[in-house]
Amino acid sequence: MKSKALFAGLCWLLCGCVTTPDKPEPPLHLSSGMGAFAMDLTIDSEAIKNRYIYTVAQYDPSTRSVLMQNGDLQSAAHFSHNFHIREGGDELWVAQLPPGHYAITEIEAKLSAGAGGSEVAYAGNPLGLLVGGLAFLAIAEGSTDILSFRDEYGRLLPDAPVFRVEAGKVSYAGHLTVDVDPRKSTYPEYDNEGQWDGRSTITKVENRYMADYRYDAADLTKHQNRLNLAAYPVLQQPLSVFADRRFVLEDYPDVDQPPRSLPRVAGTRLAIIQTPAASPQPASAVRTSAPVKPVVPPDASLRSKTKAELQQLFLNGTISAAQYEAVRKAAN
C-alpha cells in the first residue's frame, strides 16, 4: 500500500505545473431524507507548511459514542485542505449527511508540498525533482500531528465541537481557521567547525499552529448560490466550545507536552463567536485568563467530584483525558 502511495505521489510531483481552470461548483441538491453540513475553512498564509484533514462523524448523544459499522465510522465526512498558490487558503466544505448528531472527531496535520491543489512549483531537471520528491514523501510519511476529540473507547471528549444535521436543511457550522502564534527565539551561532564563541547568536521565528474559529451568519451571504439557500433553510450551528479557547494543532519545537487548547485572550486574530441573534462582541468583552499551568490533583481527590466538575477540570487543563476517563469508569 505504501509503495502505491509513493508512486502516486511521485506521479503527482512529476506532472509539473499544468493547471486547469476551476469550474464553479453546482448548487447543492439534497438527496431525499438527507441534510447538509457546511463550514468555511481557511489556512492562513503563515501556516501553509501543512495539509489539514478534517473528519466529522455521527454520534449517539445519550452515550457520546461515535457510531461505528464493521469497524468504520457509520456516517462521516472528510475534507483535505491545502493552501493554493492561486486561490489562497479559503475553502467551503459541503457534505450531505443523514440527520443526526455530529461532531468534529479529528483534525490531522500532514506535511504539505506547499503548492496545494493541482499546482506544483517546478524548477530544475526531472531527476532532481524525482530525488527531491522521494525525500519529501519520506519526510511527509512520518510528519503527522493529530488532534483527536475521541477517547480510546470511541466516546467524544468533553471539548468536542458538536452540531446537528436535519433533513432538508443546511447546517452551517461557522468558519474554522488555521493560523499561527509566532515567537522569536535566540540560539547560539556556531562556526563551520561547530564551535561557539560564547557571544554570537541567531534569531529564528518559530510558530505555534492553532485552530481558531468564528461564527457570523453574514458569512453565508457569499454562499447563497452554492448552498442553494433559496431551496433549503439554514440550521445555524455555532460550535460553542470555541467561545473561550483555541485548539493547539502543533506547538513550538521545544514543547514536549503541548496543551490541547489555550484560553481565548484579547488580541487573538479572530473575533469570538458571533451567535445568530447577537451583535459582534467588542474585544473588551472577551473573557480572558492567563495560560498558567494548573496543579494536577491526585486521583483520590477527584472521586468526590460531580460529572460537571470533572468536565470543567478537563476543559481548563487541570486533569488529563486519561484521568477524566479513569474517574468516570470508577464511578460506574
Q: What is the pLDDT of residues 168-204, one digit of tens each?
A: 999 999 999 999 999 999 988 898 988 998 899 999 9
Give the pLDDT confidence score for residue 45 in this predicted structure: 87
Could you tell me the sign of the dihedral formed by the alpha carbons of 153, 158, 160, 161, in that order? positive
Buried b (16+ CB within 10 A) or exposed e, 189-214: eeeeeeeeeeeeeeeeeebbbbbbbb
Amino acid (one-letter) located at 124 = G
C-alpha distances in Å from residue 161, one per residue of 103, 105, 131, 321:
5, 8, 41, 16
| The three cell numbers locating residue 14 | 512529476
Cell 472521586 locates to 303
Which residue, among 234, 237, 227, has the nearest Cα to 174 in the 3D structure?
Answer: 237
Per-residue pLDDT at 16 exceeds 70: no
Highest mean pLDDT among 11-15, 43-47, 168-172, 215-219: 168-172
- In sequence order, what DSSP letters do the residues of 117-131 get, joined into one string? TT-----S-HHHHHH
| The three cell numbers locating residue 189 | 551561532
> Residue 113 carries which DSSP code?
-
Q: Give the pLDDT band (50/70/90) at residue 275.
A: low
Q: What percent of the chain stands above pLDDT 70?
A: 66
Question: What distance in Å separates the CA atoms of residue 329 and residue 151, rounded to the nearest whole number?
Answer: 13
| The three cell numbers locating residue 121 | 512549483
Give the pLDDT confidence score for residue 299 in this predicted structure: 61
Give the pLDDT confidence score for residue 281 in this predicted structure: 35
Per-residue pLDDT at 301 exceeds 80: no
Which residue, among 174, 160, 281, has the nearest Cα to 235 in the 3D structure?
Answer: 174
Average pLDDT over residues 258-265: 91
Q: Are 184 and 204 in contact (CB under 8 A)?
A: yes
Average pLDDT over residues 260-268: 81
Per-residue pLDDT at 259 exceeds 70: yes
User: Helix, strand or coil for residue 262?
Assistant: strand
Higher pLDDT, 178 or 324: 178
Domain boundaries, the chain: 2-181+208-291, 293-332
Q: Give the pLDDT band (50/70/90) at residue 25.
A: confident
Instruction: Determine which of 54-58, 71-75, 289-293, 313-317 has the lowest per-residue pLDDT on average.
Output: 289-293
Write out the H or E segment, with its range, that includes residue 7.
helix 2-14
Question: What distance in Å separates the CA atoms of residue 64 and residue 66, rounded to the nearest whole number?
Answer: 6
Question: What distance in Å separates the CA atoms of residue 106 and residue 149, rounded to the nearest whole number?
Answer: 6
pTM score of the predicted model: 0.69
Name the burial class of residue 278, with classes exposed (0-12), middle (13-18) and buried (19+) by CB atoms within 10 angstroms of its CB. Answer: exposed
